[in-house]
Amino acid sequence: MDHILIVSGRFYDHICDELVRGASEFLNGKASFNVISVPGALEVPSVIRYAIAANSYDGFVALGCVIRGETSHYETVCHESARALSLLTLQFNAAIGNGILTVENEQQALVRANVNDGNKGAGAAAACLRLIELKKQFGLGRRP
């Protein structure tokens, strides 16, 4: 059974709780998993990199939420978190399902996070498992 690390950027706890719930429910019975929380979306790639170095997980689910505010900080967080996750995938053949929401307002985030609606947590977990399958298909080994 594959072993997954769910990393949750907790800047918006109520939204992240639902994302983690969706990912956890999806993975239950399909893979073992651990959940680690970090302050926000920018810290998620760092923890995934630490876990890659430890070689303890087959794949990763990146969860978090970035809501547009009044400053350009939104753009920085959205772009840099996505860029860092992409680099980890490319540099280390890491199987990462990206479930970091980038939205205009809280209502959009709630719809996307809700396990009975958008369920982006489950979508990120499904992407992670599919990438693990593909890594195995290409002979890239069990862990990054």
Q: For residue 17, what are the contacts with CB-CB under 8 A and spacing of at least 6?
A: none
Strands of the sheet containing 3-9, edge to edge, are 32-38, 3-9, 59-67, 96-103
Choose, from 3, 14, 73, 79, the residue flagged as catalytic.
73
Please, what is the angle between helix 73-92 and helix 44-54, to 10°?
Answer: 20
Contact 10, 35 (CB under 8 A): no
Q: DSSP code of 62?
A: E
3 tagged catalytic: no
| 44/23 Cα distance (integer angstroms) | 15
Q: Which residues are catalytic?
A: 73
